[in-house]
Chains A and B, each alone.
Chain A
Amino acid sequence: MALSDTTSQNYELRDPDVRLMLQVRDDDAAAFEELVVRYQSRLMTVLEQLVHKREQAEDLAQEVFMRVFRARKSYEPGAKFSTWLFTIANNVASNALRSMARRREINVAPAQDAESQADPLAQLALAASGLMPTRQLDHAERAEVVRLAIHSLGERQKLALLLSKFEGMSYAEIGETMGLSTQAVKSLLARARSNLRASLEPYMNEGVLPGSANGPE
């Protein structure tokens, strides 16, 4: 066995989801269903931001759960369950994104006019400030601004940011999930947050966001 017994036992004691997965390893269908219920929204939160399409994110989430099930017999608790699950999700999403990129290369997109090629974030800012310069963006628009800001990040920056924000993973856990050193994660997240801040800065600085208690001085 590659993992020490002590490591496995520690994770088994500390992480209830590891215990559920061990039951899945013993072919407990109810335990598997419980894991699906616990993690489907969390997976979807990350996958939807990675691939930008809800239907595809659902397909990928199901693929992740399928891989979890297929890997059950060789499962050994060497990390928190969520770290293991998101490592699989990272692989599945990376494969899907590569596949999508190949398809984009093949299906040459029709020419777009200059306006539609412009940065969608800038367009949204222009629309918001130009049409109603003093109004506050409503929730849906704020969500769209944030979604576009995340969309503008590179894939790795995006995943690291999402795992940090929505999964509360430590740098070490993100590193384990993405196959990076802790120092590399530190640099990656610094760049991700800096880029995110730069994308959102126009909205923050112009004070167009509602509930600006958190906003700039």
Chain B
Amino acid sequence: MNEADTHNTSDDAREELVAYLDGELDPPAVDLVEKRLADDAEYRRELRQLQVAWDMLDELPKPAVCERFTQTTVEMVALSAEKELEEVKEHQQRRRPWIWALAGAGALAIAGASYLASSHWLSRPNQALLRDLPVIEDIDLYKVADSVEFLEQMDRKGLFAEKGLFDEETGNAP
């Protein structure tokens, strides 16, 4: 490729000249190019030659598109659309059992979680009653005691061995 190095115009000046021809310069840059064109014969010559070379591109024959191009293109696209539709259907069919399985598993999980939550929260008062049942059964005895320390002494002496009022390891009431 013969680069146009035989011309004296610098790369920057040539860029400005081409952009000038393409209408891509702002007004101050246009003024600068036009001022140089007025003063520089070589710059004017380059401008003319660039323009002539540009105009010669019009010599290229306009491509005559095959008559059937539009038809074959549309047919290709129609076939592609059909295939696309089939693929979507197949995909949906393949996904359907999974969707039902996932939906069922989800429903079961929700039901289980609901049951656990409700049984936990709703039975709290009963759980407390159950836990305190040994105390409730002997409430009349405990009423006569003055303090917890006294009851602990009684327990250590085995008075409540059967009842198991205090846990032997932790010392906590059941």
Contacts and interface: CB of A to CB of B under 8 A. Distances in A.
Interface of A: 29, 32-33, 36-37, 40-41, 44-45, 48-49, 54, 57-58, 61-62, 65-66, 69-70, 139, 142-143, 145-147, 149-150, 152-153, 161, 164-166, 170-171, 186-187, 189-190, 193-201, 204, 209, 214-217
Given A153-B1, A197-B52, A201-B53, 5 more contacts: A149-B56, A193-B50, A197-B50, A198-B4, A199-B2
Contact of B74 (A33, A190, A197, A217): A33
Contacts of B53: 149, 193, 196-197, 200-201, 204
A175 to B, nearest CB: 11
A40 B4 contact: no
Given A62-B73, A187-B15, A198-B3, A139 B59 contact: yes
Contacts of B56: 142, 145-146, 149, 200, 209
Contacts of A44: 63, 65
Given A45-B62, A57-B63, A36 B70 contact: yes
Q: Which of B17, B50, B56 has the most A CB atoms < 10 Å from its CB? A: B56
B127 interface: no
A59 B53 CA distance: 30
Contacts, number: 138
A216 B72 contact: no
B50 A29 contact: no
A194 B65 CA distance: 31
A61 B65 CA distance: 10
B59 A142 contact: yes
Interface of B: 1-4, 6-7, 11, 14-15, 17-19, 22, 24, 45, 48-57, 59-63, 65-66, 69-70, 72-74, 76-78, 80-81, 84
Contacts of B14: 190, 194
B3 to A, nearest CB: 6
A112 to B, nearest CB: 19
A189 B57 CA distance: 14
A200 B51 CA distance: 12
B72 A197 contact: no
A17 to B, nearest CB: 16
Given A33-B70, A143-B60, A164-B22, A66 B76 contact: yes
9 contacts: A66-B76, A143-B60, A145-B59, A166-B57, A186-B18, A187-B11, A194-B3, A200-B52, A204-B49
B74 A193 contact: no
Contact of B65 (A58, A70, A152, A170): A58
B43 to A, nearest CB: 13
Contact of A171 (B7, B22, B57): B22
A165 B54 contact: yes
Contacts of A166: 57
A58 B69 contact: yes
Contacts of B76: 62, 66
B63 A217 contact: no
A49 B80 CA distance: 28
A110 to B, nearest CB: 24
B91 to A, nearest CB: 15
